[in-house]
Every structure is written in C-alpha cells, then in structure tokens.
Chains A and B, each alone.
Chain A
C-alpha cells in the first residue's frame, strides 16, 4: 500500500484546461474523496493518477516513485468504474481469477487467493455461477473482487455507486467502507455527491473549474469552508449567504447587517466593500426578541427536524429547527445567529476572510 502525492499537476485538452495546478497528498491507507460538480476536473485528476491520462505538467508520486509519465500498466493500481464490466462468458470465479492467471500465477495459488477474496466479499457461494444472472450488488462485488485480487498499491474508483438506486447505494457504500477498513488499502474515490463524500471519506478534496478549492477532513471543511463555493456545495441545505456592504477591520468582532449589530469571530484580515455573511442552517435560531428580523415563507418537515425558510432584508435564510417547534408560514420573527460559527466571505473573490475561528483550518490548505 502506498502514499500518493500530487504536485502542481496540470492537464490541458487543446485550449481547454481541465486541471489548473493541483497539489495534495493522500496518505497510506486513506479513503480519499475527490468531490466536485461535473466538469470540475475530478475524474481527470483520478485518471492522471491511474495513468489513463498523462499530465501536461507536474509530478505524481506513488510510494515515493515519480510515475507521472508512466502508463497505467506500470503503476500497479486497480481501477473500478461506474459501469463495471465483467466478462460475460466467464463465471464469477473465473472473472476474479483472470487478472492473476494472466500474470502467470500458479493455479493452486490463484485458487487460494480467489477463495480469500470471495470470503472477504461474502460471495463464496456464487463463485461457480455465471455472471449473467447476478443482482446489481453481486456484480459490483465481483468487479471489486477482480480489482482487489491483485493486491495493488491503490484503488481508484470513479463514481462506483452512481448507477445504483438510493437504498442500495447506501448499503453498498457501507460495505465499501467496511471493506476498506478491513484491508486498509489506499483508496481514491471520485464523486459529485457531497453526502457520500462526507460519509465515506477520511479526507476530501473539493474541486471546481479545475481548481482545488479546499483539502482536509470532512468536519473541518464543513465547519470552516475556504470559499463560498465549498460552503455552498457541502451541506444540505447549504450554508446561508447574506450579502451586505461594509467594512471588517483586523481584530473586529462585530458587523452591521441591515443596521443590526451581529457578533462574529474575531477577524484576522480586513476588507472593505461587498461582504457575504455565511451561516449554516443549524446555527440559526428563531427568537422573537432578536433584533434581526425575518418572515417565514416555507416550512419543510423532515421527521426530527424541519427546515424553515425566512425572507430577510439581506436574502433568504434557512434554519434547521426541531420539528417540535411550532412555526407557521407568515410568522414575523427575530433570527439569532450562533456567533462562534460564522464565516465571512469576500464577495468579489469568494474567499473566506480569515478569523480566529477558521485560521487553523485554512492554514492547512
């Protein structure tokens, strides 16, 4: 198993730059997520790590060895695609053993190895079945088995669960993660589903327009997004953004939102002009005595919680509240913001302003 290091990797397709200049490190044994909307460069990044595309410039290190310009076959990695292709004329066991036999491994050893893998994946009883009649889950397991059986240095997966329905996807994502925890194989996983990334990943890279927006552990990225894009892409519903014009000086702990003073974490950098006030829905409380006002325009019941949408002078705000709270459309109320959790963004660049609260996370990339 291996550490993977990406340094200043860039990829151009003709005039189009798919990946600008990515730098990050995947530690040995990590379950690592490449997250972003379609066209952000995540799949291209993965394909460059795998050797299916060669970078225009930059270096890729697998286990300390620079492999940037080497083809996939010399990298000792395994790739699992969204559309897992199995050999239709072979049974399950043959599909899994194929990579080993083609490497020239002795038959007895292959048999032992396939047995072990089948055990791990819980497919021992279907080894002699044709792949044609298998369920979607079993097909996925066979495809995984074929990838695992070679003991590669790393696994690369491109939206492997994307084609499955919601219920089954959840089941398979648990299974994949559990499999990773048993084998501790370095895994790089591409997805556009933020919940899947949060749920499965040890670390996440968030990409947009070919640029790495942020890199870190899921909770840090959720709490202290480096950019407005990240704050919006992660979380459901996403972070609320209230636009205002004003000034934030280094050391200030208060801003004025529609002439109401709101406490914020102590600023560590200043700006003047268009600013965005960012707060997560679960950090907004309704409190009739709070001076910042809003009107309820929608409520959405979600079981234990409800999402309440309010209209304010600075835009719409969503609050996540207990379903036990009685809230009605049309109510006028005050909004209380949990001061410790607020992020301010520069409206022009979309970058988070450094504060005493997010300083540590943002300095890590």
Chain B
C-alpha cells in the first residue's frame, strides 16, 4: 500500500480550468473522498492519479515515486467506475481472475484460486462464482467489478461514484462493506462522489473541491463542525445549512456579511418570533420551515411535535458560523 501526493496540479481543457493548483496528500491506508458538485474537478483529479490524463503542470507521486510519463498499467492502481463493465461472455469467476491472468504477472493458478475465493467471500458473491456475469443483478455486478479491483492488490484504489447507480438499500450495505474492506486491508483509497452521506460515513478524510480548487481537506467531523467557507459548510448536512444576512439576529462580528446556521444551531423556545410555514414529518424527526424577518429557515424538531403551519416559535442562534462577503469564514 502507498500514499499519493499531488503537488500544484493544474489541468485545463481548452478554456475550461478543470483543476487549479491542487496540492493534497492521500496518506497511506486512508480513505479519502473527494466531494463536490458536477464540474468541481473530482473525476479529473482521479484521472490524474490513474494516468488516464496528464497534468498541465504539477506532479503526482505514488509511494514517493514521480508518476510523470507512466501509463495507467505501470502505476499499479485499480479503478472502479460508476458503470460497471464486466466481460459479458465470462462467468463471475473468470471476470475476477482476468486481471491476475495477465501475461506480465504470471500468477500461479493456485494463487489465483485463493485470491478469487477470498475476495468473493468478502463481497458475498461466493455462491455466484460460476454464474454468467450477465445473470447478476446490478448490485452483484458492481460487487464483481469492485472484486476485480480487489484481487489485484494494487497500491492504490481509485473509485469514481461506484455506488451511485445502485438502489438505496444496496448502497447502504455496500457503504459499510467498502469501509470495512478498506479498514481491514489497510488499503489506500481515493473515492469520488457527490453524495454527502457516502463522504461522511466512509471517509477518513474529505477533500472539498470547488471549481477545480481544493478548498478544504480534513476529517468529515472537521469539515462538518469547522467549515472554512459557506461553500464547504453547504457540502455537508441535511437539511442544508441556513445562510442569512449577518445582522438578522444582531451581534454579528466585524466583517461578517452572512450568518450560517445549521438546523441544530437554532434553539427553539427562546429569542425572537418566527412563524411556521410548513411541517414535514420525516419519521425519525420533523423538519420545520420557518419564516423569520422575510427569510426562510429550516430547522428540525421532535418527530411528534404538535406545531402546525401558522404557529409562532421563538428562535435564537446557538454557536452559528459567520462568513465574510466572499463566503470565507470569519467566526
């Protein structure tokens, strides 16, 4: 296993700047998730590391070795894509064996059998090993494609939204599986997603990308509890952080242009009056939509609240964030 370092990596496609001076270290044995909306540069970063694309400037190092000029095959990385592409004419076993049967590797058959058996066990597909790959469900196919990456035991795994085409139940099962595979094997994993739940639940570190720039890098808890900007704060948290003009509650620090309130930063029952505009019972909690001095706010409350539309609730901020006019955190 290995660490990955990007140093001042930039990449443009024509006029479009895809990556802008990205410097980042993926520590050995970590699970790093790159998070951002479409076009933020997540996939481009992954392609730089894999060797599918070359940086215009900057360097990519894996295990301290400069990767410039090396092909994807020479980099000893394994990729898993959103669209699982299995060999349709082969069985699950043959699909899993395929990377090991490469003439360069010359892996003995006994070794291949052992590895395939192990990986199939971990991914719970042992009973399907002799099925045609086309006779599998979507979730099983994605497991096989993850399995095909695992058998190779590469220095780094690169995954591009591998779970996003699966249904909710399977996604949540595979989240736990992937995380425990990574934790138990000590593999280094660089993972791209726009799903904040995946980022929060699996990552040891999250890199937040905004228009090709890496704006924050830290543990999910650091990013959730101590965001550097409005943008970073908006990436994590459901419902999303409320952003209002800094002075609506009074007491804003100098230079603050806006106040950021996560739903749990709004204390109910004290402070100034707001009106309930909508109540959404989600089961485990209830979302309250509030109107406060011509602004809309969302907060959460007890699942069995008796509040109704039109009711008045007093609110006050508790440990809010303040941001300047550019969105950078000031307090």
**A interface vs B, CB < 8 Å?**
165-167, 177-178, 181, 195, 198-200, 217-219, 222-223, 234-238, 280-282, 297-298, 300-304, 307, 309, 320, 323
Interface pairs A-B: 5 shortest CB-CB? A222-B283, A300-B201, A219-B281, A282-B284, A304-B264
**B interface vs A, CB < 8 Å?**
37-38, 168-169, 172, 175-176, 179-180, 194-195, 197, 200-202, 220-221, 224, 236-238, 262, 264, 278, 280-284, 287, 303-304
Q: With a CB–CB cut-off of 8 A, which chain B residues contact A217?
A: 281
Knowing A219-B303, A304-B264 are in contact, say whether A298-B284 is a contact too (CB < 8 A).
no
Cα of A300 to Cα of B183 in the assembled complex, Å: 13
Please determine whether A198 and B201 come into contact, CB atoms closer than 8 angstroms: no
Knowing A219-B304, A298-B179 are in contact, say whether A195-B201 is a contact too (CB < 8 A).
no
Please determine whether A218 and B180 come into contact, CB atoms closer than 8 angstroms: no
Determine which of A199, A282, A303 lies in contact with B200 in the assembled complex, contact meaning CB atoms within 8 Å: A303
Cα of A320 to Cα of B285 in the assembled complex, Å: 12
Please determine whether A236 and B168 come into contact, CB atoms closer than 8 angstroms: yes
Please determine whether B180 and A298 come into contact, CB atoms closer than 8 angstroms: yes
Knowing A219-B303, A301-B201 are in contact, say whether A199-B284 is a contact too (CB < 8 A).
no
Determine which of B38, B176, B194, B278 lies in contact with A300 in the assembled complex, contact meaning CB atoms within 8 Å: B176
Knowing A199-B280, A235-B284 are in contact, say whether A301-B220 is a contact too (CB < 8 A).
yes
Please determine whether B224 and A303 come into contact, CB atoms closer than 8 angstroms: yes
Q: With a CB–CB cut-off of 8 A, which chain A residues contact B176?
A: 298, 300, 309
Q: How far is the CB of B320 from chain A (nearest CB, A)?
A: 15
Please determine whether A222 and B221 come into contact, CB atoms closer than 8 angstroms: no
Q: With a CB–CB cut-off of 8 A, which chain A residues contact B303?
A: 219, 223, 282
Which residue of chain B has its CB nearest to the CB of A219? B281
Residue pairs across A and B with Cβ atoms less than 8 A apart, 9 shown, are A165-B194, A198-B282, A198-B283, A219-B303, A237-B172, A298-B180, A300-B176, A301-B201, A303-B237
Please determine whether B197 and A222 come into contact, CB atoms closer than 8 angstroms: no
Cα of A235 to Cα of B202 in the assembled complex, Å: 20
Please determine whether A320 and B284 come into contact, CB atoms closer than 8 angstroms: yes
Please determine whether B201 and A302 come into contact, CB atoms closer than 8 angstroms: yes
Q: How far is the CB of A125 from chain B (nearest CB, A)?
A: 22
Determine which of B37, B179, B280 lies in contact with A198 in the assembled complex, contact meaning CB atoms within 8 Å: B280
